[in-house]
Structures are given as C-alpha cells and as structure tokens.
C-alpha cells in the first residue's frame, strides 16, 4: 500500500499571503489529522477530520482551517501568513477516528514564510 502523501513538499511564501497544503491518506483510511512541527514548540495537533467532518481541534487561531473531501483527501489552509507559521506540517491518516487507532504519518510539507 502506498503511504500518506503530502504536496507540495516545500513552499516559500511571504507574510500576509495564504497557503493550501494537501494530504492523501493511505487507501481505505478515513481519518486525517494535521500537526505542526517546529523546533521551539515541537509537534502540535492542529485538527482531525473524519468522514468530511472536523472531529477535534487544537489550540490554533482561526487562520488555520481545513477540510476533507469525500475521497478522504484533506487540505489545510493558512491565511494571512505570519513569520511564526514557518514549520513542517505533517499529515497523518488512520482507518477510523478512534483514539485506539494508529496514525501513520506523511513526509510533511516544509513551509517557509519570509
């Protein structure tokens, strides 16, 4: 089975712009979670989608949003980019949305905000 794929792998944006990141889960997985990884804050949960519905949300401002499509692919959007949004954004998929289900991570999208 192919793993979780994320596109693009690298992005450079300037402050004030917006960006959309894409994630394709493992075939058959219906849950997609997003995480932000930075050297200072580590790995932080952004949100989770299951069957096109947001199931859980982390403590991030409203500039961070996401959605999931009927084929389980997910996108996350960051509007009005700030320098502090520079990070590795990771997507993880799991078969269900259950707490006991294992999440499998993609390679991430490296976002640099100038």
Partner 1 sequence: AQSVSQHNHHVILSEAASLELGCNYSYGGTVNLFWYVQYPGQHLQLLLKYFSGDPLVKGIKGFEAEFIKSKFSFNLRKPSVQWSDTAEYFCAVNARSDQGGKLIFGQGTELSVKP
Contact string (CB under 8 A) for partner 1, positions 22-61, x = contact: ---------x-x-x------xxxx--x-x----xx-x---
Task: Retrieve residue 53's tokens.
Answer: 């519905």
Bridge-partner residues for 44, per DSSP?
36
Size of the site for partner 1 (CB under 8 A): 28
Query: ∠ CA(86), CA(67), CA(70), 5° rounding?
Result: 140
Distance from C-alpha of 51 to C-alpha of 55, rounded to nearest angstrom: 9
Choose between 27 and 41: whose C-beta lies nearer to partner 1: 41
Instruction: Kindly list the residues in this chain that would bind partner 1 in the complex (CB under 8 A).
Output: 3, 31, 33, 35, 42-45, 48, 50, 55-56, 58, 90, 92, 94, 97-108
């Amino acid at each position: 089975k192919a793993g979780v794929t994320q596109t693009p792998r690298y992005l450079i944006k300037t402050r004030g712009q917006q960006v959309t990141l894409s994630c394709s889960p493992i075939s058959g997985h219906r849950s997609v979670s997003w995480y932000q990884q930075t050297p200072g804050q580590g790995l932080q949960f952004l949100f989770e989608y299951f069957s096109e519905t947001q199931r859980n949300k982390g403590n991030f401002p409203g500039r961070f949003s996401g959605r999931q499509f009927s084929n389980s692919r997910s996108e996350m959007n960051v509007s009005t980019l700030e320098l502090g949004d520079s990070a590795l954004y990771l997507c993880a998929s799991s078969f269900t949305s259950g707490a006991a289900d294992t999440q499998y991570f993609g390679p991430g999208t490296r976002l640099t905000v100038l």
